[in-house]
Structure 1
Amino acid sequence: MESPANMESSVNMVKSTASSPMNPSDDSSSPYYLHPSDNPRALLVSKIFNGANYVAWSRLISIALTVKNMLAFVDGSLPQPSLDNAKLHVAWLRANNLVLSWLMNSIAKEIRGSLLYFNNAFDTWDELKVRYLRSDGPRVFTLEKSLSSISQGSNSITEYFSDFKTLWDEFISYRPLPKCACGIMNTCTCAILKNLADRQQADYVMKFLVGLHDSYSAIRSQLLLSPLPSMGKVFSLLLQEESQRSLTNAVGLPLDSHAMAAAQPPRQIFSNVSKFSKLKGKPNVTCSHCGFSGHLADKCFQIIGYPPGWKGPRGKRFNSTRLPNANSASSLEQNSNIPNIPFSQEQIQNLITLSNSLSTSPINLNHAVNTVSTSGSQQMEDD
């Protein structure tokens, strides 16, 4: 319902505009003013009304019309002038139709069809309010349930806060704080309205802290021990904590086991292989199933099953043909003339080079041995 103060202001505005010789559409301080950039086909807000987002959409429309100085056309504070003042009546029709066009452009086409025959922006605005501003139980229940179940998960602090605040703002729009209309509360000394506002703010912060990730449990405990600060202060402290963690690479979330295995250095992997080959048992025996030494096939884990907590390699071992290293270069050179060794001097040098590269980079030894063996066989065939 329109307040007496707004009605008096609107009447004074109409009287002053009517007595002014200037065209009201050219006065930048008048709600009838039309800027050259005002286009009836323009989209006033980016959010389109689809029937389920009335609270957020109406808020955005109200802000945009306030900037345009045309909110009076939808809140009913600027009634249509009489036909006695033709200039003012035409100016009102132009401005009203412009606002009506902006409203229609921001409404989904499925809803727009039922609003085409309203003559002014106020009737259209009021019809949408009656239809879609539902303060009923189902929507409040849905919001209450969403606020109770929302959690940060893997989102950042900023993303989690944005999602939470969207739900909270809509929730309190259905549950606003009471306002005094008789004026008695202006002289009240118990500050009951302030206490209610403080309690609502405390609930706001408490619900937000409930959904935080457990990695923030330390700072959450500190905030709960003292009187709850404002949401702005809480958000600032959590952002600082998140920034410090990013600098120290302390993410707080458990790393995936596959990622840890991939990040394991090659030396550690080879040490696991050596541990597997040095199992208790007969060190000089080799399993005919998996190729590892230290056990026989009847005690092979690949046949009888791996024990709990096994961290060694799984799978069959490659051919463990020993390759020469840099320390055995002289012995290879000394024995290069022995006819039982099917390698030429050039092949021995290649083996030494290959052995040196194996000490710095883990490569497929199976492939290397097969390559050398093939090369030796080819050399024997050529000889």
Structure 2
Amino acid sequence: MFISLSAKNKLRFVDGSLVIPNKDKPEYIIAWERCNNLVISWLLANLDNIVKKSVLFFETAADIWKDLEERFGYSSITQVCALEHKLAETTQGTASVFEFYTQLKTIWDEINDAHPLPHCTCHKCTCNLTQKIRTRDQEQKLIQFMMKLNECFSTVRGNILMTQPLPKVAQAYRIIAHEERHKEVAQLYSHNESLAFSAADKRNFKPHQNNQPPIYQKSYSSNKSTNLTGNKRPSSHYYCTHCKVPGHNIERCFKIHGFPPGFKGFKDRRVAVVSHSSEYSDPGSSEIKADSITTEQFNQLLSLLQQQ
């Protein structure tokens, strides 16, 4: 209220420093009464209904302000005790450092207003007692702020308390707030990294279908998967449970669904021999029967041996 009245240049109407003009100048009387009534309306608008009724019949704003100051303009030790109890029970909990520091500073300001610190008024002291009292008050507030923080700030709290000389409570708040932001960024980075690893695992994992075993993609290939041009062939993700070989699944197996017209054989001889031998060989034997190759292939093999 003081700030509002001072900004509107009406503070002298409530502190009694503006004298009522003489009645022989009616123009000043009218201007003063208008401004006085304006200040009274501002005061009444900010009062409780019960208090408003008790000051309704005062004629000047200075009389209303003086009456209110006599009734409510004092601080009792009971009020200070209630504020100290509220300060003792205040902890950070789930609040952020900004919210917690704001709560503490509000209580500290209320205590200083109700029970201000003593200071020198003669301006003749040479021991600098006022500055020592203010330094002790800052140290007490710093200790209260440090002891009420959560345990996640124990490391930075120890570093601050070991600093000589001790920083002010506002400087300690900036350090703790910076540490809180650093923890939030680190936690966000670790969370994004874990999500990236999880997404990579989901891309590399192929769930089994049609009773097929799960297959994981590999980012590398062996020397056997390299063709004659030096390019690496991509690894296949299909596996046939009938032929027991990779390269196709059971839905595309020629032995079950039939060979396509004009089929001339497999490009990979090893796959052809393995698939052909697995069809005509015994399950418990690894030997290939004589009818596993044709007569033409046998003659070609014989001619090769004779040439050697």
The question of whether the paired residues in 2 share the 8 Å contact of 1:75 and 1:122 is answered with: yes
- If you compute each CA radius of gyration, which structure gives the higher value, 1 or 2? 2
The question of whether the paired residues in 1 share the 8 Å contact of 2:39 and 2:61 is answered with: yes
- Cα gap change, 1:157 to 1:72, in 2 (>3 Å): same
Which residue of the other structure, out of 175, 184, 187, is the alignment partner of 2:115?
A: 175
* Comparing 240-249 and 139-148, the one that deviates more: 240-249
- SS of equivalent to 2:93: coil
**How far apart are 1:232 and its partner, in Å?**
2.5
The question of whether the paired residues in 2 share the 8 Å contact of 1:81 and 1:88 is answered with: yes
- Cα gap change, 1:153 to 1:263, in 2 (>3 Å): farther
Tell me which residue corresponds to 1:5.
none
After superposition, residues 353-368 of structure 1 pair within 5 angstroms as none
Q: TM-score, normalised by structure 1?
A: 0.49
- Cα gap change, 1:191 to 1:103, in 2 (>3 Å): same
Tell me which residue corresponds to 2:180.
242
Deviations 1:193-216 (A, max 9, x none): 221122122222222222222211
- SS of equivalent to 1:212: coil
Q: Which amino acid aligns with 1:63?
A: I
Instruction: Report the Cα distance in structure 2 between the residues aligned to 1:208 and 1:125, rounded to whole angstroms.
Output: 38
Tell me which residue corresponds to 2:290.
none
- Cα gap change, 1:199 to 1:264, in 2 (>3 Å): same
Tell me which residue corresponds to 1:123.
63
Tell me which residue corresponds to 1:63.
3
Deviations 1:79-112 (A, max 9, x none): 3334234333322222221111112222233432
The question of whether the paired residues in 1 share the 8 Å contact of 2:79 and 2:114 is answered with: no
Segments of 5+ residues of structure 1 without an aligned counterpart are: 1-60, 256-261, 270-320, 338-383
Tell me which residue corresponds to 1:36.
none
The question of whether the paired residues in 2 share the 8 Å contact of 1:74 and 1:121 is answered with: yes
- SS of equivalent to 2:127: coil
Divergent runs of 4+, >6 A: 266-269
Q: Which amino acid aligns with 2:105?
A: K
Instruction: Report the Cα distance in structure 2 between the residues aligned to 1:169 and 1:78, rounded to whole angstroms.
Output: 31
Deviations 1:325-381 (A, max 9, x none): 6413544555867xxxxxxxxxxxxxxxxxxxxxxxxxxxxxxxxxxxxxxxxxxxx
Instruction: Report the Cα distance in structure 2 between the residues aligned to 1:266 and 1:131, rounded to whole angstroms.
Output: 70
The question of whether the paired residues in 2 share the 8 Å contact of 1:149 and 1:211 is answered with: no
Instruction: Report the Cα distance in structure 2 between the residues aligned to 1:264 and 1:113, rounded to whole angstroms.
Output: 71
Segments of 5+ residues of structure 2 without an aligned counterpart are: 203-208, 214-237, 241-247, 258-308
Deviations 1:258-277 (A, max 9, x none): xxxx99959999xxxxxxxx
Q: CA RMSD in A?
A: 3.3
Tell me which residue corresponds to 1:206.
143
The answer to whether 1:105 aligns with 2:42 is no
Higher relative contact order (CA 8 A, sep 6+): 1
Deviations 1:33-81 (A, max 9, x none): xxxxxxxxxxxxxxxxxxxxxxxxxxxx111212112212222222333
Tell me which residue corresponds to 2:35.
95
- The alignment of Structure 1 onto Structure 2 pairs a total of residues equal to 217
Instruction: Report the Cα distance in structure 1 between the residues aligned to 2:47 and 2:251, rounded to whole angstroms.
Output: 87
Deviations 1:105-147 (A, max 9, x none): 2223343233322222222222222333342232211110111
Instruction: Report the Cα distance in structure 1 between the residues aligned to 2:120 and 2:252, rounded to whole angstroms.
Output: 104
Which residue of the other structure, out of 120, 128, 133, is the alignment partner of 1:191?
A: 128
The answer to whether 1:323 aligns with 2:211 is yes
- SS of equivalent to 2:111: helix
Tell me which residue corresponds to 1:132.
72
Instruction: Report the Cα distance in structure 2 between the residues aligned to 1:239 and 1:164, rounded to whole angstroms.
Output: 15
Q: Which amino acid aligns with 2:147?
A: V
Tell me which residue corresponds to 1:9.
none
Tell me which residue corresponds to 1:291.
none
- Cα gap change, 1:133 to 1:213, in 2 (>3 Å): farther
The question of whether the paired residues in 2 share the 8 Å contact of 1:153 and 1:213 is answered with: yes
- Cα gap change, 1:79 to 1:230, in 2 (>3 Å): farther
Identity %: 30
After superposition, residues 137-286 of structure 1 pair within 5 angstroms as 137-180=77-120, 183=122, 186-226=123-163, 227-249=165-187, 265=198
- SS of equivalent to 1:153: coil
**How far apart are 1:176 and its partner, in Å?**
0.9
- Cα gap change, 1:242 to 1:330, in 2 (>3 Å): closer
- Cα gap change, 1:193 to 1:111, in 2 (>3 Å): same
Q: Which amino acid aligns with 2:169?
A: M
Q: Which amino acid aligns with 1:218?
A: T
Tell me which residue corresponds to 1:301.
none
Q: TM-score, normalised by structure 2?
A: 0.60
Instruction: Report the Cα distance in structure 1 between the residues aligned to 2:7 and 2:181, rounded to whole angstroms.
Output: 37
Deviations 1:148-185 (A, max 9, x none): 1211222222211211111110011111123455x3xx
